[in-house]
């Protein structure tokens, strides 16, 4: 399958790494389409986090909402292809007025996870989500983003006043009987340390989460994060000889694809990269993909999986 060049590849072909060609880039095989992601809120968000790798904000319309009618054909194609689980992200998914209807349809055929900033998790929504979970044979997970264990560390990244509002959303989920996964990036050096993890776990217990769950993620030097801390260096790229002996199965692109309102992309990270698009239908995206973007280096080095 022909894949358009990314800016990174074009620069390399122009001399950034003399003597290399596209043939020297390792390719990853889709082993099985187990996981399907939906950029269900597009790039529209009620926050503009300073580390967002796709620069979501209230005004970013690069990708638009996917309504229920847009999602249903992909769910049907996914069912035929044997997809095992579904993830919904954005932007902020609960800005999409069809989000709960989309979850209801999804939970008829597999487990679902929603990645949310937590600001729209009021009592009523959490009660409805709990009812959806109780009425399905499949699990419903909510992943709530938090980047600091107090307002002083969280709010400069996610926005003033967000710390207390996120914790309120977490409390509402817990009160409704839902146990969220709290996602923390390594935007602060101490977040992923043993002491950092303990502080987050203690914080969650103090806000009603009896069995707290944490997921730590590295930063991708794309979008707003590239502006905040700097873009990738030229050496942060994969070459054919970098393939580990056991292969590339640690990369989630061996088992997942991402759907936006504009078609199907290789993964949740590269939705703003033209070379990340693989076609309009899931059937168009079942081939190999070249690991020619610096973000692929991050996934390889840090063993990143966006899955819960």
Q: How many helices (H) and strands (E) does the chain have?
A: 9, 11
Q: pLDDT at residue 123 above 80?
A: yes
> Which class would CATH give 34-236+261-302?
alpha beta
Of 6-10, 23-27, 249-253, the poorest mean pLDDT is in 6-10
Mean pLDDT of 97-119: 98
Q: 247: helix, coil or strand?
A: coil
Q: Is the peptide bond before 3 cis (omega within 30 degrees of 0)?
A: no
Tell me, what's the pLDDT at 287? 96
Residue 89 — very low, low, confident or very high, per pLDDT cuts 50/70/90?
A: very high
- 88: pLDDT strictly greater than 60: yes
Helical (H) or strand (E) element with 36: strand 35-39
pLDDT given for residue 13 in this prediction = 37
Cβ neighbors of 54 (< 8 A, separation 6 or more) are 43, 62, 222, 223, 271, 272
At 138, the pLDDT band (50, 70, 90 cuts) reads very high
Reported confidence tier of residue 304, pLDDT bands at 50, 70, 90: confident
Please state the domain extents for the chain: 34-236+261-302
The pLDDT of residue 308 is 76
Distance CA 303, CA 274 (A): 24
Least Cα distance to 256 among 245, 271, 242 occurs for 271
Q: pLDDT band at residue 243, thresholds of 50, 70 and 90?
A: confident
């Amino acid at each position: 399958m022909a894949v358009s060049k990314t800016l990174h590849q074009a620069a390399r072909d122009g001399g950034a790494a003399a003597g290399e060609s596209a043939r020297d880039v390792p390719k990853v095989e889709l082993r099985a389409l187990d996981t399907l992601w939906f950029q269900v809120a597009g790039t529209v968000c009620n926050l503009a986090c300073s580390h967002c790798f796709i620069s979501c904000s209230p005004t970013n319309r690069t990708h638009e909402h996917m309504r229920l009618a847009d999602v249903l054909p992909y769910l049907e194609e996914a069912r035929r292809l044997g997809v095992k689980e579904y993830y919904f992200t954005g932007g902020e998914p609960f800005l999409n007025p069809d989000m709960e209807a989309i979850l209801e349809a999804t939970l008829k055929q597999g487990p679902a996870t929603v990645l949310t900033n937590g600001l729209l998790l009021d009592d009523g929504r959490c009660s409805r989500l709990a009812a959806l979970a109780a009425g399905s044979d499949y699990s419903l997970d909510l992943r709530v983003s938090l980047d600091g264990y107090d307002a002083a560390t969280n709010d400069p990244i996610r926005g003033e006043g967000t710390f207390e509002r996120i914790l309120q959303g977490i409390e509402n989920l817990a009160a409704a009987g839902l146990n969220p996964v709290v996602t923390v990036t390594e935007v602060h050096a101490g977040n992923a340390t043993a002491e950092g993890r303990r502080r987050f776990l203690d914080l969650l217990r103090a806000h009603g989460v009896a069995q707290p769950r944490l997921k730590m993620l590295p930063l991708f030097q794309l979008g707003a994060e590239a502006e905040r801390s700097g873009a990738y260096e030229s050496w942060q790229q994969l070459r054919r000889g970098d393939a580990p002996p056991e292969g590339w199965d640690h990369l989630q692109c061996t088992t997942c694809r991402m759907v936006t309102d504009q078609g199907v992309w290789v993964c949740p990270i590269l939705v703003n990269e033209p070379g990340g698009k693989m076609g309009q239908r899931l059937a168009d995206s079942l081939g190999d993909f070249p690991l020619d973007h610096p973000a692929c280096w991050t996934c390889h080095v840090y063993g990143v999986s966006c899955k819960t």
